[in-house]
Structure 1
Amino acid sequence: MDDKKNIILAVVLTAAILFGWPYVANHFFPAANPPATKIEGGKTTPLTPSGSAPAAEGAAAVRDLALVLKDGPRIPIRTPKITGSINLKGARIDDIVLPTYKESIARDSHAIRLYSPSGTKDAYFAGFGWQGEGLKTPDGNSVWTASGKELTPASPVTLTWNNGAGQSFEIRYSIDENYMITAQQKVSNSGAGTVAVKSYGYVSRAHPSTDPDTWTIHVGPMGVFNGAANYDVNYKDLEKGPASQSFQSTGGWIGFTDKYWLSALVPDQKAAFSAQMRKGAGTQFQTDISLAPVMLAAGKSVTQTNRLFVGAKEVKTLEAYQDAGIPLFDRAIDWGWFYWFEKPIFALLHWLFEHIGNFGVAIICLTFVVRGLMFPVAQRQFASMAAMRAVQPKMKALQEKYKDDKPKLQQEMMELYKREKVNPLAGCLPIFIQIPIFFALYKVLQLTIEMRHQPFVLWIKDLSAPDPLHILNLFGLLPFTPPAFLGIGVLALLLGISMYFQFKLNPAQMDPMQQQVFAIMPWMMMFIMAPFAAGLLVYWITNNCLSMLQQWWLYKRHPQLSAATAK
């Protein structure tokens, strides 16, 4: 009867995990990147982009991007990492493309477009301006005059506009080799009286990001205020209300963070500023900053400097800006609570990749490094596990002797563990030790753009995406794609097999229920891990193989343990 109950409980537990896990994973763990390839007819085919965000309300007014870019005068932007243009109408930075990053691995894939002009389907842009009392300031319809023909790292461009009432306005745009645009905003007052003026900057987007916002990866408005990163506000918060969140700070920044991209306003770090995250009409959102107002007397001028970061969240690039004085700029990547642990994992993995050239091999080498560092701890645990196997005959004898006296059996078992110096949890401890490392690698694969679209071997074209080679559709020969939790790939199968043999080396559990759970756990993990990034599975498979090798070496070095186990 007990065996039947144990079997039923094991089946129920398995079903609960298999069918309940997708809901848990969707809430707590964001999905891996979309597969870079698909398998059709047994052949690997690159996937094309799946499309962009839906059109805003009033779709009839949405215009074609190419036509909008031809309207009105523009100043081209050319750097090694950015191409695009500045719209002289409104002095908006509304055309930004990242030529070093593609939408997919297909050869004809388009470069990532981050900014698009107002009136297009995916409008996303930034600008700088002024507010004031007693003067007319430029607005979105003002047409500026440019001093140059192109904005490059070697050639800044100054835009000028005169209100015809005694005040002239200038924005001197300069750009570095990466993703930072500097706007020096100057106002000159040649009128008869004093005017109050203050500069501002804004970033506006027509839709929320299509990247998922989860508890492990923040996507949406964020900023750093008074020395602390703020991830507390997301798009849904602004939609539900209040529609505006305000912040006061000296030093810091604000903007929108996507999974891999960032658009952030960086004011003068020595000046106090006000910042807001806003919900506009329809699906529009905006973040903005404004500096303190300045009283500008007749014949005087004032210059205030703001900056705009628009580009990829490259770890070393963000760290370089942080070292140059932008506080916590690397927190644009949501490292989370284990920041102190994930950054070294990333640094080591990226260093290995730079020297090896293959990201999958770098993950395997990382596994060797981690296992090497934990070798002494694992040895003690494996020795305890082997000793546990050796005392199993005594444990069975106690179970038989006290089968009708459970409290006495527990007491005698604890005395046996103490006398023989064994740990009944030894088989689980190596797994628990791996959890922080596994989570850190999960975050690195999910967050860092350096790992995006990195291939391994054969059909694995993107280690930050799930294994595309599914067994249930006969590797693409059958015309259907299994659901995520049934999409068992070759790597997931290898993971289950390696865990099965690893558990076979562990001592059998005396509780039949526990033993049955351990027997089905490898196959449950095979289903659970199948939708995760292929790089995580490569790490876990390698770790399982090294664990088995280490246990084999232990038995080879201590034959008495092997003999005791066999007896």
Structure 2
Amino acid sequence: MDNQRNLILAVVLSAVLLFGWDFAMRTYYPEPEETPSNMAGREDTQAARADGDVAASGVGGDVSAEVEVDLASALASSERVTIDAPEIHGSINPVGARIDDIDLKTHRETVDESSDNVRMFSPAGTSAQHYAAFRWDGDGVSLPGPETVWSVTEGDQLTQETPVTLSWDNGAGLTFALRFEIDEHYMLTVTQAVRNAGASTVALRPFATVTRTSETASASTWNVHSGPIAATGEGVNFDWDYDEVLEEGPINFGSDTDWVGFTDIYWLSALIAQEGEATNGYVRSLGNNLFRSELLYDAVNVPAGETVSRTTRLFAGAKESGVLDEYQAQGVERFGLAIDWGWFRWIAWPMWQVLIFLFGLVGNFGLAIIGLTLIIRLILFPIAQKQFHSMAQMRAVQPKMKALQERYKDDKPELQQQMAKLYKDEKVNPLAGCLPIFIQIPIFFALYKVLLLAIEMRHQPFTYIEDLSARDPATILNLFGLLDFTPPGFLAIGILAVLLGFTMWLQFKLNPAAMDPMQQQIFMIMPWVLMFVMAPFAAGLLLYWISNNILTLAQQKYLYSRNPQLKAQMEKEREEKAREAERKKAEQAKG
């Protein structure tokens, strides 16, 4: 009767875990309705505030009225300056000199080869607005603003070989110039210069901004940050999300800001300060789901007849680890940490390097994950051997342990002393068997973070799976798409989830059975609960876990063959447990 009650309790608790997990994930971390990037080719409209370029300190220009613009109309101007670089295509708007049109040539919205490129930047007022501007502030001076029409004075197309310069004369002795350059990846270099042809010194303050809507941002969760990001002397700041900025007002990252911007899971837009110049970084809300990151330089004096300039870099692209590390090597402080590897970065980063190496070697990300799993198991193999040796020792001293338990069953302190003496005399460490579990916990979480954040896994195929960064598409309940309905999230069980549950069940079956009936029932149910819990995760993570389970089974088989006494003892204990269960069942039947 007790066992039946315990089984029912275990089933109820498992159901609470299963449905509670699904409810919590859907409530607190809902999946976005669309791909979390600024969609290319979208023509829907949205009322939004236009570019006002108002800095957080109160400097800047006016704020325009609300507008409604569709993407095609916003990009229709023939006056735009084309951007054509190896990994970026887009244009610069001469009105306001905004960089507001960027597509990523090497990344698409979906796995379909005919799908549009991922759109990083879109003009002000469009539904996916996201753009950068470079301005000056000053008192009593006519300055270029968001509606200023700039003239092209150098170049007609921005490429890796040909820079472009825009200029504007305020008619009062000041000529402002913006020189744009671009590299082979996602970095633009913008030099703000002002020449004073007047008779007196003018005080100006250069600043740069990136403005975006939060409506096309990736969802921010407990383990993946999406929102404002900044690097200062204290490190990379992932503390703020959009809602917190809206509630608490402008966020000042301090006067030692190296770079500031916005991050999604895979994409980053960031302003990088000129080396050696003091800058303040801010992020603030403009209302209507618009947010702005700002990089403000100290005010400068521009003497008569002189030219003063500041150079700011703009990163607008994919968070590819190798590319970010390359920029960091070129002097962008902590740029590689724009990918939030988490607490286990010291494991995750080298693990990622191995994974990328294997990917380059075998040419398939799924095979690279399996290869990485094999390497991890080989590294941990000596520890597993020690675990099995410890298990064998514990089995060998069990008769003595039982004798001590019988002798001192009424004297717990003395029993503990005698047990400690037994462990010391027999050279047995009862905690040695737990070591591999503790070691694998950070490894699993580090790899989970790697596979979650790695843009290199995005849209990578493996067997029937088109995208290892997405969930398994082969849902069993709708016969793999043959039936025209989509199962609820917690019932959308794919092939990988079933394999995960099955291989984990086999592991539990192979483990020692020296546990009470309640534990046995829980361990028999747990694999199938985890099957439901893990089903929504990225297919790449499930592939790792399945590979790990299979390798663990092979390892257990091998180690049991090397420790026949342990296997024989386990079989004996199973038989004793079975006989004891039968005896209790017979007694209950008689009663």
Structure 2 residue runs without a partner (length 5+): 51-65, 573-591
- Which position in structure 2 is the counterpart of 1:12? 12
For 2:389 and 2:43, the matched residues in 1 are separated by 55
For 2:268 and 2:118, the matched residues in 1 are separated by 13
For 1:269 and 1:454, the matched residues in 2 are separated by 38
For 1:73 and 1:197, the matched residues in 2 are separated by 29
Determine if contact 1:35/1:468 at 8 Å carries over to the other structure: no
Determine if contact 1:57/1:282 at 8 Å carries over to the other structure: yes
How big is each residue's C-alpha offset from its partner over 1:90-124, in whole Å with a ceiling of 9 and x where there is no partner?
A: 11101100011000011211101111111222111
- Which position in structure 1 is the counterpart of 2:204? 197
Determine if contact 1:160/1:170 at 8 Å carries over to the other structure: yes
Determine if contact 1:30/1:216 at 8 Å carries over to the other structure: no
Any residues of structure 2 matched to 1:277-296 within 5 Å, and which?
A: 277-296=283-302
Determine if contact 1:27/1:215 at 8 Å carries over to the other structure: no
For 2:237 and 2:302, the matched residues in 1 are separated by 34
Deviation at 1:12, TM superposition (A): 2.5
Determine if contact 2:128/2:215 at 8 Å carries over to the other structure: no
How big is each residue's C-alpha offset from its partner over 1:230-283, in whole Å with a ceiling of 9 and x where there is no partner?
A: 1122100122232x1123323510001111111111111211012211100311
Determine if contact 2:108/2:116 at 8 Å carries over to the other structure: yes
Determine if contact 2:177/2:192 at 8 Å carries over to the other structure: yes
For 2:23 and 2:555, the matched residues in 1 are separated by 36
Alpha carbons of structure 1 residues 421 and 481: separation in structure 2 relative to 1, 3 Å: farther
Deviation at 1:208, TM superposition (A): 4.1
Deviation at 1:89, TM superposition (A): 1.0
The residue matched to 2:479 in structure 1 has which SS? coil
Determine if contact 2:448/2:541 at 8 Å carries over to the other structure: yes
- Which position in structure 1 is the counterpart of 2:552? 547
For 2:43 and 2:503, the matched residues in 1 are separated by 40
Alpha carbons of structure 1 residues 490 and 32: separation in structure 2 relative to 1, 3 Å: farther
* Greater displacement, 435-444 / 252-261: 435-444
Alpha carbons of structure 1 residues 428 and 23: separation in structure 2 relative to 1, 3 Å: farther
Scaled by the length of structure 1, what TM-score is found? Answer: 0.89
Counterpart check, 1:240 vs 2:231: no
* Greater displacement, 212-221 / 64-73: 64-73
Could you tell me which of 204, 211, 223 is aligned with 1:216?
A: 223
Any residues of structure 2 matched to 1:144-293 within 5 Å, and which?
A: 144-146=150-152, 147-242=154-249, 244-250=250-256, 252-293=258-299
Determine if contact 2:214/2:242 at 8 Å carries over to the other structure: no
- Which position in structure 2 is the counterpart of 1:558? 563
Deviation at 1:167, TM superposition (A): 0.8
Could you tell me which of 529, 532, 553 is aligned with 2:534?
A: 529
Counterpart check, 1:362 vs 2:368: yes
- Which position in structure 1 is the counterpart of 2:57? none
Alpha carbons of structure 1 residues 431 and 531: separation in structure 2 relative to 1, 3 Å: farther
For 1:3 and 1:502, the matched residues in 2 are separated by 23
Deviation at 1:515, TM superposition (A): 2.1
Scaled by the length of structure 2, what TM-score is found? Answer: 0.86
The residue matched to 1:106 in structure 2 has which SS? coil
* Greater displacement, 285-294 / 466-475: 466-475
For 1:185 and 1:34, the matched residues in 2 are separated by 37
How big is each residue's C-alpha offset from its partner over 1:103-151, in whole Å with a ceiling of 9 and x where there is no partner?
A: 0011211101111111222111101011112321111111111121101
Paired residue total? 553
How big is each residue's C-alpha offset from its partner over 1:373-399, in whole Å with a ceiling of 9 and x where there is no partner?
A: 111101111233355566778888999
Alpha carbons of structure 1 residues 28 and 357: separation in structure 2 relative to 1, 3 Å: farther
For 2:8 and 2:43, the matched residues in 1 are separated by 47
Any residues of structure 2 matched to 1:162-561 within 5 Å, and which?
A: 162-242=169-249, 244-250=250-256, 252-386=258-392, 429-457=435-463, 459-561=464-566
Determine if contact 1:95/1:116 at 8 Å carries over to the other structure: yes
The residue matched to 1:218 in structure 2 has which SS? coil
Determine if contact 2:212/2:292 at 8 Å carries over to the other structure: yes
Determine if contact 1:56/1:206 at 8 Å carries over to the other structure: no
The residue matched to 2:480 in structure 1 has which SS? coil
- Which position in structure 2 is the counterpart of 1:42? none
Structure 1 counterpart of 2:526, which letter?
M
For 1:32 and 1:513, the matched residues in 2 are separated by 40
Deviation at 1:535, TM superposition (A): 1.3
Determine if contact 1:75/1:151 at 8 Å carries over to the other structure: yes
- Which position in structure 1 is the counterpart of 2:583? none
Determine if contact 1:94/1:124 at 8 Å carries over to the other structure: yes
Structure 1 counterpart of 2:568, which letter?
A
For 1:439 and 1:385, the matched residues in 2 are separated by 26
How big is each residue's C-alpha offset from its partner over 1:195-254, in whole Å with a ceiling of 9 and x where there is no partner?
A: 111211001113344311112111111101224211122100122232x11233235100
Could you tell me which of 121, 136, 141 is aligned with 2:127?
A: 121
Taking CA–CA contacts closer than 8 Å with sequence separation of 6 or more, which of the two structures ends up with the larger relative contact order?
1
How big is each residue's C-alpha offset from its partner over 1:73-101, in whole Å with a ceiling of 9 and x where there is no partner?
A: 11100111000000111111011000110
Structure 1 counterpart of 2:476, which letter?
I
Determine if contact 1:491/1:538 at 8 Å carries over to the other structure: yes
Any residues of structure 2 matched to 1:51-130 within 5 Å, and which?
A: 55-56=46-47, 61-71=67-77, 73-130=79-136
Deviation at 1:63, TM superposition (A): 2.2
- Which position in structure 2 is the counterpart of 1:2? 2
